[in-house]
Amino acid sequence: MTVLTGALAYAGMPGAAGAPNTRSTAAVLPPVVPQPESERALKGPGFTIGAETPIIVKSSDPDSREVGRYLGRLLRPATGYDLKVEAGRRDHRPAITLDRGGPKSLGEEGYTLTSRAEGVRLTARGAEGLFRGIQTLRQLLPAAVESPTVQRARWTVAPVHITDKPRYGYRSTMLDVARRFYPVADVKRYIDQAAAYKMNTLHLHLTDDQGWRIAIDALPNLTKAGASTQSGFTGGSWFYTKAQYQEIVAYAKSRFITVVPEIDGPGHTSAAQASVPDINCDDKTIPPYSGFDVKISVVCLRDPQHIANVSKFLTTVMTEVAALTPGPYIHVGGDEVPARPAEEYKAYVQAATSAVQAQGKKVIGWHDLSAGTIPAGSLMQYWGDEDARETIGTAEEHKDILLARKGVAQNASFIMSPADRSYLDMKYDSSTPYGLRWAGYVPVKNAYDWDPTTVTAKPDGTSPVVPANQIAGVEAALWADRAYTGSNELPTSTSQFVEPSVYTDFMAFPRLPAVAEIGWSPKSTHDWTRFSSRLAAQGPRWKAAGIGFYAAPDVPWANGS
Ligand code: ACM
């Protein structure tokens, strides 16, 4: 068995000399994604973890203790060490110390990390910052630390001092569990992958034409008829029970990730319309849908009676979903509705937003929702692309830009998920077996080379429609419209569908880390050449972890990775 060396093995990699804000240019910095705010190489060998190294948690806070145990569990499979988690003050033994006595300036998620021969010290304001810092710590260890089986290696934490905190407070990724159902284990796996890159939100697209995925006790048919289909599949029962959904929420919480459930409407509603008769204009259910089209459905908003029916439906659903969801937000969708009078759409926005507000939750919607009246404090998720930017300031601005203007005027903040940058279901290039390309190919460079402040600016970066102070963060959205091989055509056999984890691994890696860095790292560190080199160093980690990533040609992978 080869002995794997520590982070300094990356010294020979192109561009490994660190970010512009590093103080030491001579020393080689370990490659970390997302790039920390500031990072300095220290003299000396760094700290080597041994079987007797304690994890000392300087806090009686149970959440911080739990983060200490999480670190122990993280290190156990590859090292074979069962590191003890101890409370109390740091003594003179070599240790990994988690200290929640950090300065206020770090905020909830920031941390400092120092690795020297005598130990590693991670400081934060609380458990969340310690957790984010641990994600950096694992990247300072040899790649083999990600292996699920015991490896022989010298477990040296590269000698550095890092001070870090996020650029944006909202850093999300989305799974489309409606088009393709993800078993709980797959969602948990994805949560761990997102957490490793310091994402803090998981948006679950729970409802669409092809399926309704969350149990609603008062409307059991939603998970009979409505959960019997996926894109390309019929005759199943694909949904999360309340206990399963709560299991996902709790698992995410243990990774400091907030779950945002989405109940999409007034379009993307065939599964609901197949389950609940009185939200259809003829008061009859429609057949469950297992196809691949979009913009095929809308609930009935034609007359006061049906608006009342839809309102009641939304109140029932939002009441139960809110009760299961500790996070502050519910996403109400609002995208891709077949043409209807504007008043009908506005009636839906009114019904959906008041149902969410009645539960004490805040509203998120696709930016389309701004066509209606949205409550103060709402978040709009912008999914426009370059074509829309090109029309800014012209006589014929794109509808996405006009809607963004309406959202800004209503004081919404924005989550930026431009389809041509952060839609992980877009193919990387013509060789990609899965996905779509309506927003163009999204090679890794495109997923990285953008900035939230210019997503709604002119192509030269001027005249942003959404001002910087109304940007909450970013999302990498992994739709599942075409989660099968040969996706340039419709599938002819269910054997073309791969396991959800195979699809997510390939489509999210390396692009999820790219979007994560856009959300976390200071704009001043933004540099494709340096990023792609740090990203290349993640390859051996993903290999060790068993992540089936795409070895994209625009990333300078080291030989053999
Ligand atoms: C969307 O991509 N329909 C939000």
Domain coordinates of the chain in residue numbers? 4-165, 170-528
**Phi, psi at 426, each rounded to 5°:** -75, 140
Give yes or no for a contact between 192 and 255, defined as CB atoms under 8 angstroms apart: yes
Looking at residue 27, what is its pLDDT? 59
Structure tokens at 500: 């959800």
Q: Which of 66, 108, 247, 336 is catalytic?
A: 336
Our mutation pick for probing the ligand 1 site, out of 264, 336, 379, 425, counting the most ligand atoms within 8 A of Cβ, is 336
Task: Tell me the CA–centroid distance for residue 346 and ligand 1, in Å.
Answer: 19
Q: Which amino acid is at 216?
A: I
Task: Tell me the CA–centroid distance for residue 487 and ligand 1, in Å.
Answer: 18
DSSP string, 187-240: HHHHHHHHHHTT--EEEEE-EETTEE-B--TT-GGGGTTTTSEETTEES----B
User: Distance between CA 215 and CA 202 in Å, rounded?
Assistant: 19
Residue nearest to atom 2 of ligand 1 (CA): 383
Looking at residue 372, what is its pLDDT? 98
Looking at residue 228, what is its pLDDT? 98
User: Distance between CA 351 and CA 347 in Å, rounded?
Assistant: 6
Instruction: Please tell me if the CB atom of residue 520 comes closer than 6 angstroms to any atom of ligand 1.
Output: no
Task: Tell me the CA–centroid distance for residue 336 and ligand 1, in Å.
Answer: 7
3-state secondary structure of 381: strand
User: Distance between CA 61 and CA 32 in Å, rounded?
Assistant: 28
Question: Atom of ligand 1 at shortest distance to CA of 479?
Answer: 2
Looking at residue 165, what is its pLDDT? 98
User: Distance between CA 363 and CA 370 in Å, rounded?
Assistant: 11
Instruction: Please tell me if the CB atom of residue 366 comes closer than 6 angstroms to any atom of ligand 1.
Output: yes
Task: Tell me the CA–centroid distance for residue 553 and ligand 1, in Å.
Answer: 28
Structure tokens at 424: 């992980």
Instruction: Please tell me if the CB atom of residue 335 comes closer than 6 angstroms to any atom of ligand 1.
Output: yes
User: Distance between CA 560 and CA 187 in Å, rounded?
Assistant: 30
Q: Which amino acid is at 397?
A: E
Residue showing tokens 């060789």: 431
Instruction: Please tell me if the CB atom of residue 554 comes closer than 6 angstroms to any atom of ligand 1.
Output: no
Our mutation pick for probing the ligand 1 site, out of 209, 335, 423, 481, counting the most ligand atoms within 8 A of Cβ, is 335
Q: Does domain 170-528 have CATH number 3.20.20.80?
A: yes
Strand order in the sheet with 119-124: 38-41, 160-164, 111-116, 119-124, 95-99, 55-58, 85-87
Give yes or no for a contact between 210 and 270, defined as CB atoms under 8 angstroms apart: yes
Question: Atom of ligand 1 at shortest distance to CA of 423?
Answer: 2
Looking at residue 22, what is its pLDDT? 42
Looking at residue 555, what is its pLDDT? 98
pTM score > 0.75 for this model?
Answer: yes
- Rounded to 10 deg, the angle between the 242-254 and 304-324 helix axes is 50
Looking at residue 90, what is its pLDDT? 58
Task: Tell me the CA–centroid distance for residue 148 and ligand 1, in Å.
Answer: 36
Task: Tell me the CA–centroid distance for residue 462 and ligand 1, in Å.
Answer: 26
CA dihedral 487, 489, 495, 496 (to 10 degrees): -10
| Fold adopted by 4-165 | Chitobiase; domain 2 (3.30.379)
Looking at residue 19, what is its pLDDT? 40
Question: Atom of ligand 1 at shortest distance to CA of 381?
Answer: 4
Strand-strand pairing, 160-164 and 111-116: antiparallel
Burial 448-485 (b: 16+ CB within 10 A, else e): bebbbebbbbbeeeeebbbeeebbbbbbbbbbbbbbbe
Q: Which amino acid is at 182?
A: Y
SS (H, E, C) 438-470: CCCCCCHHHHHCCCHHHCCCCCCCCCCCCCHHH
Structure tokens at 557: 């992978």
Task: Tell me the CA–centroid distance for residue 88 and ligand 1, in Å.
Answer: 50
Cβ neighbours of residue 277 closer than 8 Å, sequence gap 6 or more:
283, 284, 285
Task: Tell me the CA–centroid distance for residue 24 and ligand 1, in Å.
Answer: 44
Question: Atom of ligand 1 at shortest distance to CA of 477?
Answer: 2
Residue nearest to atom 1 of ligand 1 (CA): 335
Q: Which amino acid is at 111?
A: Y
Question: Atom of ligand 1 at shortest distance to CA of 268?
Answer: 3
Instruction: Please tell me if the CB atom of residue 336 comes closer than 6 angstroms to any atom of ligand 1.
Output: yes
Instruction: Please tell me if the CB atom of residue 436 comes closer than 6 angstroms to any atom of ligand 1.
Output: no
Residue nearest to atom 4 of ligand 1 (CA): 335
User: Distance between CA 218 and CA 307 in Å, rounded?
Assistant: 19
Per-residue pLDDT for the chain (561 aa), expressed as one digit of tens each? Answer: 233 333 333 333 333 333 444 444 445 789 999 999 999 999 999 999 999 999 999 988 999 999 999 999 999 999 999 999 999 765 678 999 999 999 999 999 999 999 999 999 999 999 999 999 999 999 999 999 999 999 999 999 999 999 999 999 999 999 999 999 999 999 999 999 999 999 999 999 999 999 999 999 999 999 999 999 999 999 999 999 999 999 999 999 999 999 999 999 999 999 999 999 999 999 999 999 999 999 999 999 999 999 999 999 999 999 999 999 999 999 999 999 999 999 999 999 999 999 999 999 999 999 999 999 999 999 999 999 999 999 999 999 999 999 999 999 999 999 999 999 999 999 999 999 999 999 999 999 999 999 999 999 999 999 999 999 999 999 999 999 999 999 999 999 999 999 999 999 999 999 999 999 999 999 999 999 999 999 999 999 999 999 999 999 999 999 754
State the Rg of the chain over Cα: 24
Strand-strand pairing, 160-164 and 38-41: antiparallel
Our mutation pick for probing the ligand 1 site, out of 383, 420, 425, 436, counting the most ligand atoms within 8 A of Cβ, is 383
Strand partners, 259: 202
Instruction: Please tell me if the CB atom of residue 383 comes closer than 6 angstroms to any atom of ligand 1.
Output: yes
Task: Tell me the CA–centroid distance for residue 192 and ligand 1, in Å.
Answer: 25
Residues 468-521 pLDDT 10s: 999 999 999 999 999 999 999 999 999 999 999 999 999 999 999 999 999 999
Residues 129-148 pLDDT 10s: 999 999 999 999 999 999 99
336 is catalytic: yes
Helix, strand, coil abundance in the chain, percent, nearest 5: 35, 20, 45
Question: Atom of ligand 1 at shortest distance to CA of 419?
Answer: 2
Question: Atom of ligand 1 at shortest distance to CA of 336?
Answer: 3
Strand-strand pairing, 362-366 and 329-333: parallel
The total of other beta-carbon atoms located within 10 Å of residue 493's CB is 9
Structure tokens at 122: 């991670």
Looking at residue 5, what is its pLDDT? 31
Looking at residue 24, what is its pLDDT? 40
Residue nearest to atom 3 of ligand 1 (CA): 335
User: Distance between CA 323 and CA 14 in Å, rounded?
Assistant: 51
User: Distance between CA 503 and CA 265 in Å, rounded?
Assistant: 26
Q: How far is CA 522 from the centre of its chain?
A: 18
Structure tokens at 27: 């020393």
